[in-house]
Amino acid sequence: MEKTKVALLGAGFIGDIHLESYRRFVPEAEVTAVFSGTERRAEEFARQHKIPRWFTSIDELLKHADCEVVDIGIPNFLHASVAEAAARAGKHVIVEKPLCMRLEEADSMAETCRQANKKLMYAEQLCFAPKYERVRHLIQEGAIGKPYLIKQSEKHSGPHSDWFYDVDRSGGGVLMDMGCHALGWFRWMLGRPAAKSVYATMDTVLHKGRTRGEDQSIMIVEFENGVTGLAEDSWARHGGMDDRVEVYGTEGVSYADLFMGNSALTYSQRGYGYAAEKAGTTQGWTFSMFEEAFNQGYPQELRHFVECVREDREPLVTAADGRAVLEMIYAAYHSARTGAKVPLPFTAKVKKPVDLWHQPDLQGAVT
Amino acid sequence: MEKTKVALLGAGFIGDIHLESYRRFVPEAEVTAVFSGTERRAEEFARQHKIPRWFTSIDELLKHADCEVVDIGIPNFLHASVAEAAARAGKHVIVEKPLCMRLEEADSMAETCRQANKKLMYAEQLCFAPKYERVRHLIQEGAIGKPYLIKQSEKHSGPHSDWFYDVDRSGGGVLMDMGCHALGWFRWMLGRPAAKSVYATMDTVLHKGRTRGEDQSIMIVEFENGVTGLAEDSWARHGGMDDRVEVYGTEGVSYADLFMGNSALTYSQRGYGYAAEKAGTTQGWTFSMFEEAFNQGYPQELRHFVECVREDREPLVTAADGRAVLEMIYAAYHSARTGAKVPLPFTAKVKKPVDLWHQPDLQGAVT
Amino acid sequence: MEKTKVALLGAGFIGDIHLESYRRFVPEAEVTAVFSGTERRAEEFARQHKIPRWFTSIDELLKHADCEVVDIGIPNFLHASVAEAAARAGKHVIVEKPLCMRLEEADSMAETCRQANKKLMYAEQLCFAPKYERVRHLIQEGAIGKPYLIKQSEKHSGPHSDWFYDVDRSGGGVLMDMGCHALGWFRWMLGRPAAKSVYATMDTVLHKGRTRGEDQSIMIVEFENGVTGLAEDSWARHGGMDDRVEVYGTEGVSYADLFMGNSALTYSQRGYGYAAEKAGTTQGWTFSMFEEAFNQGYPQELRHFVECVREDREPLVTAADGRAVLEMIYAAYHSARTGAKVPLPFTAKVKKPVDLWHQPDLQGAVT
Amino acid sequence: MEKTKVALLGAGFIGDIHLESYRRFVPEAEVTAVFSGTERRAEEFARQHKIPRWFTSIDELLKHADCEVVDIGIPNFLHASVAEAAARAGKHVIVEKPLCMRLEEADSMAETCRQANKKLMYAEQLCFAPKYERVRHLIQEGAIGKPYLIKQSEKHSGPHSDWFYDVDRSGGGVLMDMGCHALGWFRWMLGRPAAKSVYATMDTVLHKGRTRGEDQSIMIVEFENGVTGLAEDSWARHGGMDDRVEVYGTEGVSYADLFMGNSALTYSQRGYGYAAEKAGTTQGWTFSMFEEAFNQGYPQELRHFVECVREDREPLVTAADGRAVLEMIYAAYHSARTGAKVPLPFTAKVKKPVDLWHQPDLQGAVT
């Protein structure tokens, strides 16, 4: 069996997770190259993980790396241009959430990949997380009747890398970074109904000195099928990663908790190495998580994409999904400024989504 | 020790709870009379609970019952007039939530009781629920730093009595019935900050044929101290009473679950008598609740009021609290119709709060 | 209403709990005197709690305190002699678990109280803990069919006072101190079937330097009705009080958790004052307990006894229960030494129960 | 990459799980043949799962199937003879728990495989279950100090196939079927200390008419390193699979729950297809399990064995482990009859382990 060759762009947090996922759970793929902007990091990552080649230039990688797939795990502001360059270089593309920074980019990415006849997958791994998939199947079986309220929340104490806090590179704060999970997952769970409106409120409560992005947000989405979505996201919640869903229907309800619900519960006087993502102290009581990549759906997602590439099938989660999510993010930032529910479809000409929240003079830009 | 004499108005669900609470946990009080509009019910309730006198007329009760305190547990539309009549008859008044149906009534009730020099307590028992009080004390100790998000949700499958579904008698649906708990409790937890704005969304998803009120709502309140409140309420959630809070601060978080979290967990093949309020089936797995009145704070609340009466102290939760809650309920219904955040203070001339939601022609009434 | 006058013997941990319980939940009683062997403690306790009189001699208290009830919360080795002295002085007696140190004492206590025509209650408060009572009622309703396995475990990191570790004053370690809860509660739950046999294993794993008693034990009791009881007890379990039960039947199962299950769940970076009994650190995640006395059944138990005294009824839990528990404790220590199941009835002549475990030369004493 | 060819013996419950595990998670292996004693079942299983060949004779399979590995998932009484035949036929062997029925068989299996130079793995998948492995690593890190008590319980309402209830084919009841998990896992967690003694109590409480084996057991094992093991097993516990562990140490504790703890929590009025192994009804509240094979460690176990075969390494769990477990099972049955702790090493000449429990005349057989 010939393996599908993958080049990893990004050697940080998500790069680690993707590499582990390919290696342990996607036997059809092999990682043949890695890119990092920092030479030392690129080299070390390659050596540590026995990846044949490493690059500090994406152009060079696209020219010289032996790969069919480019896996984009670099800061948000680079997603669109790199995805397009990769497609033009004849590579299939999988791009970490959020799809890109601007709606125009989303359209352009989709178009470029279509013309190049290359696959473009939007990497929303919650669509593959086994516990949440279990909930989706329950609902499809009719276990809870007709859904009317769907909730997802994702909270921790703040991201690893600096660029998340720099809105010029990230496009926004926690809504951009983690709110996109809720929005993509709502669509997935409900069979991609159109969204009618978005309302959002947000604030910067913990990282005020560090970012102009929000670190706390609540979003309410009304879908055309009558279901209400409630998304809560935070970079200001201590005590380890929190990722939970609730789906309410006319005949029942289903709850799932990805981290604390799955974990072992441990009391340690002296503490230990690692409890879970962003867990803080490991002394006293902790929720000791395990198989985090598998439980969050990363390997299932990557394997799905590799199969799509090998069998020439369309990925289940596409640029259209990423675009729809981004449109709701735009609307959410706009709503946070205006204090009103924003009807969809919505578009605006901005440099980055968060501008719709904190730059009042951009109001004229909204069409 | 002379006991404080209490007349119970209402012989339904809440009447039962109050009676049990007085009897088991408020030794300073005795229930001397009960009112129900239905003769048979009044008589049975009195006989069953060995209450000396029963009435089918409130006027008669106020004239002839030997009591210092009137405990109002009858439908919302009667709260104001009965409370005022009681105060004029020289009785102290405790009134079940919500305080009344209209803001004008709230003002009038407070004024009448003040003039009659009678105590008026707003019966928000969550302010006395031991588990939630524990969370409040934790926060006062600084355990979670400065709070920035406070949540409460209360959900079940719909009320016991018909009048809840008749908005002319109730004033509105689940927001009126249970949303008031969240609003009153947020104020209590945070030290009664002014609310800056309210946003709400609501729908009738399960009881459409039965009521013009909402059976599902989400409310977001922004307080002047920068804290956001998120209230979720539902009459469309099966599986037994659900009452949960979460408080997020800059240095921690605290969760409490009043029913499922406190209960025994039971699997029964054949089922058993009673699991918890609105629990539905008792076959299979159930969360078997116990000491519901105590855990929800009813006896603590009633004992507090009786002490206020005996020692001439001001109740901790007053008509001003009930009025502030009602103002937010008005704003919430208005927001649900306009799709916009409603700034506070807010007032409107309506027959009942829910009119602000479903009667577009009332828009002119808003000042 | 004339109040029933109670003298508290013991001003330590259990004294505090009993005092709070009488004051908040037993309006029919008043605490009129307190004894502590330490003058300073007696005086402070009395002054702090506004108790009229304090004593440093039990004899003096029995002679001069104005009381009808003596509530014994002093070290185990004093239970029998003090209870008998109290009964002879014309007082009703409630005695903390375990009933006493030796079987002969148990018989003598019962006889003396009978002759003096005074009530003697064995204070097993788990028989009154609301959550566990809920489980008992479930089982009586037939919810789980016929029980075949009943479990209780109680674990923390070690007692407050020194005398618990001194087996001459306590009679034994954790089996004596906390295993008695399981045994008394099994009998209560099952309707007091005779026990056929006891098997036990135990060890000193954490407090080896401090005590000759066991700090870790497992006990298996076979009852005549075919039910097996499994009791786990520990003074070596960190992370706060743990008290859990499980009852298995032919048609179902029921679980209840008194502390962690009831608590709020809190994450605190800086920590806070108090989480729960023996909780250790309050930094990081903690299970924040509340209303501990009520949840453990103390006030319900004390109120029951006061009612028995006032209405001349027999207490629900008596010296016969305490004796049966003690007999199983004897058998458990004997089993721990012999490594064999010990058939009941069982008796032995020893100075204290734990001698049956670690003094091989006592074997001859077993009848 | 050439795949390792595996023949599955057994097309029942465990056959399904192993097949799914190989297919989804062990890319280095392919299942080339299947055996079932029932022709129709063999044929259907092969056709449904696209397995090239099926057999109704093990001898034929060993002669004609193209395989390097034989995976034994047939009734216990066949384990030894089939494993030896397979090894003699030049196949590596992985055998489901328990290893075999008699100690003599265990010795013979090990010897035969050694002489044939074939690998023999004892399939205790709990040694590979990710959540329990997480606990093991925590303990190795020192998170809970020195362990002194280790618990595992596994409970459901009874096995799928008839042969489990026929002690001539199974060797015993739930202790044989599920108690072996606890024993194997204790050894694994603690680094394979020798066991000093075993005590057991057991009964037939639910399936009395159906089996002479026990359906309820408690086992206490004392290990040479001072740790006590407590194993609870049941075929009489309704409400779905229950599999939990607790490890107590001098500086902490860790709990893990494989099924209920991992699941989504669902309330369904009408019910749905499948909740979890042995879940019973799916109406009302259910614990909806997912990825059961992965969470229980089956694919990780099988992948490990295939790697051992491919790389000529010794499996982590061997016939010696299976034998040690079986020895403790012998001792447990003996203890259940004698009511005494049984010192190890222990051996006895019996046809099947359960004979040591219910056939008093076998006492002479014990050496």
Please give the full DSSP string across C293-344, using - where no structure is assigned. HHHHTHHHHHHHHHHHHHHT---SSBHHHHHHHHHHHHHHHHHHHHTB-EES
Per-residue pLDDT tens digits for D38-72: 999 999 999 999 999 999 999 999 999 999 999 99
Q: pLDDT value at position C270? A: 87
Please list every residue in chain D whose beta carbon sits closer than 8 Å to the beta carbon of residue C226: 203, 205
Task: Provide the pLDDT confidence category of residue B338 given band limits of 50, 70 and 90.
Answer: very high
Token duo for residue A193: 């109904």
Mutation site for A-interface testing, chosen from C285, C286, C287, C288 by largest number of A Cβ within 10 Å: C285
Task: Provide the pLDDT confidence category of residue A1 given band limits of 50, 70 and 90.
Answer: low
Q: Which chains touch A (3 or more CB pairs under 8 A)?
A: B, C, D
Token duo for residue D247: 């490890």
pLDDT of residue D367 exceeding 70, the answer is no
Identify the burial level of C361 via C-beta atoms within 10 angstroms of its C-beta, where 0-12 means exposed, 13-18 middle and 19 or more buried.
exposed
pLDDT of residue A363 exceeding 50, the answer is no
pLDDT of residue C195 exceeding 60, the answer is yes
Strand partners, B31: B6
D337 → chain C, closest CA residue? C341
Q: pLDDT value at position A360? A: 63
CB within 8 Å: C283 and A283:
yes
- Helix %, strand %, coil % for chain A, to 5? 40, 25, 35
Task: Provide the pLDDT confidence category of residue D360 given band limits of 50, 70 and 90.
Answer: low
CB within 8 Å: B253 and C272:
no
Residue among A216, A239, A250 whose CB faces B236 most closely: A250
Task: Provide the pLDDT confidence category of residue B360 given band limits of 50, 70 and 90.
Answer: low
Look-up of token digits 């029998």 = C80
In this structure, is the dihedral angle defined by the CA atoms of residues B62, B68, B72 and B73, taken in order, positive or negative? negative
Task: Provide the pLDDT confidence category of residue A51 given band limits of 50, 70 and 90.
Answer: very high
Per-residue pLDDT tens digits for A71-102: 999 999 999 999 999 999 999 999 999 999 99
Per-residue pLDDT tens digits for B123-167: 999 999 999 999 999 999 999 999 999 999 999 999 989 999 999
Share of chain D above pLDDT 90, in %: 92
In which element (H, E) is residue C134 found?
helix C130-140
B265 → chain D, closest CA residue? D285
Look-up of token digits 């050697």 = A11
CB within 8 Å: B285 and D283:
no
**Alpha-carbon distance C319 to C100, whole Å?**
10
What's the start-to-end Cα distance of chain A, in Å?
52
**Alpha-carbon distance B274 to B289, whole Å?**
9
* Alpha-carbon gap: B300 to the closest alpha carbon of chain C (Å): 11
C2 touches chain B (CB under 8 A): no
| Pairing outcome for strands D69-72 and D4-9 | parallel
**Alpha-carbon distance C143 to C141, whole Å?**
6
B284 touches chain D (CB under 8 A): yes
Token duo for residue C150: 């009943």
The CA-CA-CA angle for residues B160, B163, B168, to 5°, reads: 150
What pTM was computed for the model?
Answer: 0.94
CB within 8 Å: C285 and A283:
no
Residue among A228, A237, A251 whose CB faces B218 most closely: A228
Q: Which of residues 37-56 of A touch D (CB under 8 A)?
A: none
Share of chain A above pLDDT 70, in %: 98
Per-residue pLDDT tens digits for D229-253: 999 999 999 999 999 999 999 999 9
Distances (CA, A) of B143 to B137, B147, B248, C287, D93: 9, 10, 11, 13, 57
pLDDT of residue D364 exceeding 50, the answer is no
Average pLDDT over every residue of D332-353? 96
CB within 8 Å: A203 and B341:
no
With beta carbons less than 8 A apart as the criterion, state whether D190 and D223 touch: yes
**Alpha-carbon distance B273 to D95, whole Å?**
48
Per-residue pLDDT tens digits for B155-211: 999 998 999 999 999 999 999 999 999 999 999 999 999 999 999 999 999 999 999
Q: pLDDT value at position B19? A: 96
Q: Which of residues 236-265 of D touch C (CB under 8 A)?
A: 236-239, 248, 250-253
CB within 8 Å: D287 and B287:
no
Secondary structure of B92-147 in the HEC alphabet? EEEEECCCCCCHHHHHHHHHHHHHHCCCEEEECHHHHCHHHHHHHHHHHCCCCCCE
**Alpha-carbon distance D72 to D15, whole Å?**
9
Q: pLDDT value at position C203? A: 97
Give SS3 for B171: coil
Residue among A133, A138, A289 whose CB faces D272 most closely: A138
Task: Provide the pLDDT confidence category of residue B367 given band limits of 50, 70 and 90.
Answer: very low
Mutation site for D-interface testing, chosen from C198, C206, C216, C217 by largest number of D Cβ within 10 Å: C206
Q: pLDDT value at position B160? A: 84
> How far out from the chain centre does Cα D210 lie?
22
Distances (CA, A) of C268 to A136, A275, C157, C310: 34, 16, 22, 47
What is the residue-averaged pLDDT of chain A? Answer: 94
Per-residue pLDDT tens digits for C68-119: 999 999 999 999 999 999 999 999 999 999 999 999 999 999 999 999 999 9
Q: pLDDT value at position C1? A: 66
Q: pLDDT value at position A275? A: 77
Conformational region of residue B36, where left means phi above 0, alpha means psi within -120 to 50, and beta covers everything else: beta
Fill in the DSSP letter of residue D42.
H
Fill in the DSSP letter of residue C193.
P
Per-residue pLDDT tens digits for D250-297: 999 999 999 999 999 999 988 898 877 777 778 899 999 999 999 999
Q: pLDDT value at position B366? A: 47
Please list every residue in chain B whose beta carbon sits closer than 8 Å to the beta carbon of residue A248: 234, 236-237
pLDDT of residue D363 exceeding 90, the answer is no
Token duo for residue C261: 């299950």
CB within 8 Å: B203 and A232:
no
Q: pLDDT value at position D1? A: 67
Per-residue pLDDT tens digits for B288-306: 999 999 999 999 999 999 9
Q: pLDDT value at position C34? A: 98
CB within 8 Å: D135 and A25:
no
D208 → chain C, closest CA residue? C250
Mutation site for B-interface testing, chosen from A221, A234, A248, A281 by largest number of B Cβ within 10 Å: A248
Q: pLDDT value at position C358? A: 81
Please give the full DSSP string across B316-331, using - where no structure is assigned. SSBHHHHHHHHHHHHH
B217 touches chain C (CB under 8 A): no
* Alpha-carbon gap: B340 to the closest alpha carbon of chain A (Å): 4
Mutation site for B-interface testing, chosen from A150, A155, A201 by largest number of B Cβ within 10 Å: A201
Residue among D238, D267, D269 whose CB faces B269 most closely: D238
CB within 8 Å: B143 and C270:
yes
Per-residue pLDDT tens digits for A259-292: 999 999 999 988 888 877 777 778 899 999 999 9
What is the residue-averaged pLDDT of chain C? Answer: 94
In this structure, is the dihedral angle defined by the CA atoms of residues A322, A327, A332 and A334, taken in order, positive or negative? positive
C249 → chain D, closest CA residue? D237
CB within 8 Å: D143 and A282:
yes
Q: Which of B267-281, B352-366, C283-297 has the lowest mean pLDDT?
A: B352-366
Average pLDDT over every residue of C233-246? 96
Per-residue pLDDT tens digits for B96-121: 999 999 999 999 999 999 999 999 99
Please list every residue in chain D whose beta carbon sits closer than 8 Å to the beta carbon of residue C231: none
> How far out from the chain centre does Cα C299 lie?
14
Please list every residue in chain B whose beta carbon sits closer than 8 Å to the beta carbon of residue C256: 264-265
Task: Identify the CA nearest to C97 among candidates C325, C327, C296.
Answer: C325
* Alpha-carbon gap: B201 to the closest alpha carbon of chain A (Å): 8
Per-residue pLDDT tens digits for A212-250: 999 999 999 999 999 999 999 999 999 999 999 999 999
Average pLDDT over every residue of C241-250? 96
Task: Provide the pLDDT confidence category of residue C364 given band limits of 50, 70 and 90.
Answer: very low
Mutation site for D-interface testing, chosen from C154, C222, C227, C228 by largest number of D Cβ within 10 Å: C228
Q: pLDDT value at position C281? A: 79
Residue among B25, B133, B252 whose CB faces C266 most closely: B252
CB within 8 Å: B291 and C255:
no
Per-residue pLDDT tens digits for A324-342: 999 999 999 999 999 999 9
